[in-house]
Each structure stands twice: as C-alpha cells, then as structure tokens.
Copies of this chain bind each other. A is one copy, B any other.
Amino acid sequence: MSIKIGILGLGTVGCGVVQVLQQNAKDIQTRTHCDLQIKAILDRDLHRERDVNGDFLLTDQPDEVLHDPEIDIIVEVMGGIEPARTFILDALKHGKNVVTANKDLIAVHGHELLDAANEAGKDLYFEASVGGGIPIIAALKESLSANKITHLLGIINGTTNYILTAMAEQGREYAEVLAEAQQLGYAEANPSSDVDGLDAARKLAILASIAFNSRVALNDVFVEGISKITREDLTYAAELGCTIKLLAVAKHQDEGIEVRVHPAILPLTHPLASVNGVFNAIYVVGDAVGETMFYGRGAGSLPTGSAIVSDIMRIARNLKSNSMSSINCTCYLDLPLKSSSDFYTAFYIRLLVKDEPRVLATLALLFAEANISFASIIQKQRGKDQAEIVLVTHPCREGALQEALDSVKAYSKVLSIDNVIRFEKDYPES
C-alpha cells in the first residue's frame, strides 16, 4: 500500500521528520507494510539552506499540499496558532489524517481539532507536542488506560531544567547560567515562554486533560517561573537532601483537580530528582499501576521526528486495516478545578531576621495561628546581628500559608521574606 505524506513547515522539526523517514525508510516500510512517501512540503521560504533533500515538491502554496488528493497524511510542524489551526481544519475537511507537534495549538484548540477529526472520521495524533520523543500521550491514552490517574508530575521544559541543573551542579547564579544557555542555543533570546513556565503550562494542560479525562485549559494552570531561584536556595535545598526543579504538577483529588507549574523543592530520592540537563521526564501515578516514569529528550529535531514518524506509522497501519484510532477526544468528565488557595503542599520559606532571642519562637507562633507547623528549620548567622532562617512547613493549604506570611511580614523583627518555594514530598501521599 502506498501512502503519501504532506508536511507543513520545513524548519528544524520538519527537517527531523524528513530525516527519520529517509534514514529508516526500509524498516518503516517493513514495519507498516506500507510504502510511505513524502509528496509535498509547504514552507514560506523556498530558498534557505537546508540539510535535507528528496523527491518531493517544495512549495509556498498551501493548497498544493492541503488539497492534493493523493496525500493521505498531513504533518503540521509550523508551530504557532495561525495559520496552523486553519490548515489542520482544512486538511481534515479534505479527508486527510493529521499529525502535529504543535503544543501551543493543542493546548488551546485541542478540543476543536479533535472534534473536527472525529467528525471527519480521521485520525489526529499529537504525541510530539509534549516531551519530544517520550511516548507519554500514548501511555496515558492507551497503555495506562485501565487506571485512574491520581498524580502527574513532569519536568517538561528542557531550558529551565538545563538552567536549574547547571545552577545546582556548579553553584552558579540564574542570570549567568541563562546567558550561557542563550549562547549555546538552549534558551531563546526572549526566554520568557520557557523561564516563566508558560511552555510547561501548555504541555501540562494537554497532559492533565488526557490524564484526568477533563478539559484543562491553559488559563486553568497556575504558573510561576524560575527567575526567583537563587544559588542560596539550591544550597539550602541540597542541605535538606533535595534539589529544585521546575515541576508541572497535576493531581486528581476528591475535591477536584489542581494543575500548577512552579519551581519546587524535591527530595533527591524522588525519581524526577535525577532528571538533569535538557532531559524531560513525566512521573505518573495510577491507582492500579502505582508509580511510573517516562524519561527522554524533550526536544530536538530527531527525538521530535521519532514521535511524529511513529504517529505517521500508526496512521499507516490504521489506513491499511481500514480503521481509525477511535481515541480522539477523551474529556468525558467535567471535574472542578481547585483554586490556588486550596492547593495543599509543604513550603520552603527563606527569611532574613534580626538575630535576637525569641524571634524563632514568635515565628513559630505566627505560623501556628494558621495551623502550620514545621518539618525542618535551618538557621545561619548573616553579618553581626542578622540571621537567615529557612523554614520547611508540613503540608498545608496555600491560603493558610498566605495568611501566616501576612503576619510574618508585619512582624518587626523580620527584615525580609527572601523566597517562598513549594516543596513536593514523595508520592503517592500517605
């Protein structure tokens, strides 16, 4: 069976798709019993230098790809919302199956696109939209589908993990490591989408929607970035037997679901703690399977190409057996979202105080008034009459913590509250 592919976009990821299809052509053919051929590629710029070539049409006319009646599968790797959204809807209407790597689009318009695919009776796969080559979406939709997923914790942004790993391992400051990451091409000139947590939030919205069968929109995700993390925090974390990661957290509890992206202190014994550098990993707890983790490269042309081409091969098998995946939109529930004041975590609080008797006792009382007690305390002399105190609380409601912090701020012996970082204890919770 001959299957023809059209690709929208020939940037880094598009070139990765072409390369994987070409370098493993023979195995791909044997494994699918199909002859997969790239027929046409759309790109705005027909003349820029690229490492790939082959027997395909390179065009800047969308219709030459989207409306070619011979093309069975459209691969969208342009990125961005528009025109990608319109092109995918158009492709589905014209009877094409679609593979996309577009997290921005799926996070915001996934529902619309999956419904359109369903209506057209076509497949829409998007494994590459989260975690590069890590097959987390197939795991959630299929291999773990016998489970109620209760927790999903991910390191799903390579840039921030590279920065935090370098800060932890080399004792360097955020700004310095960020600048280096920009030079090495691991961070963009405008790094906001990565370091402010938005990229991770998009991916978490996708993962949580699938894991909990309930739509989580990008705006539902509480987001906090890593720019407030200092060398001192990483040193204290190490003293506590922990490290700091930008975590994407989704939990399903009786009261509802909570979805949040923020830096978190994580015990070194947690499987995610040793996920370093540009690697990604998603830790998933299900009621039957227990703890699992999926680890790999979260970006890059070939890892992303691996996910996209594997999706293409699924569609090829479906076409050959004249079926479709039939797992399009899986959001059959409408679970309530917890507000951030109801999040329930432990906290790390770093304060500068006057080094006088009874200060610690007073602090303990202020927290106790909000029903918050401490799991550990570190105190260090800073200068002649100041002390730095790190408090690690037992898990508490975030609203209660905010109340306590208001009282602490008003306490005259407190010079500054220098950082407040959520602390994720080992899972599953007792």
Q: Which residues of A contact B (CB under 8 A)?
A: 16, 19-20, 23-24, 27-28, 30-31, 127, 132-135, 138-139, 142-148, 213, 271, 274, 279, 281, 286-297, 300, 302-303, 305-310, 312-314, 317-318, 320-324, 326-327, 330, 332
Contact B289–A27 (Cβ < 8 Å)? no
In whole angstroms, how far apart are the Cα atoms of A135 and B284 in the complex? 12
Q: Kindly provide the distance from the CB of A61 to the nearest chain B CB, expressed in whole angstroms.
A: 28
The 7 closest A-B pairs by CB, nearest first: A135-B143, A323-B323, A146-B309, A133-B289, A292-B296, A288-B306, A289-B306
Contact A321–B320 (Cβ < 8 Å)? no
Q: Given known contacts A310-B145, A317-B327, is B297 in contact with A295 (CB within 8 Å)?
A: no
In whole angstroms, how far apart are the Cα atoms of A120 and B31 in the complex? 20
Q: Kindly provide the distance from the CB of A77 to the nearest chain B CB, expressed in whole angstroms.
A: 14
Contact A332–B133 (Cβ < 8 Å)? no
In whole angstroms, how far apart are the Cα atoms of A31 and B211 in the complex? 12
Contact B146–A135 (Cβ < 8 Å)? no
Q: Kindly provide the distance from the CB of A288 to the nearest chain B CB, expressed in whole angstroms.
A: 4
Contact B274–A288 (Cβ < 8 Å)? no
Contact A293–B295 (Cβ < 8 Å)? yes
Q: Given known contacts A287-B23, A293-B293, A326-B321, is B142 in contact with A138 (CB within 8 Å)?
A: yes
Contact B332–A326 (Cβ < 8 Å)? no
Contact B288–A305 (Cβ < 8 Å)? yes
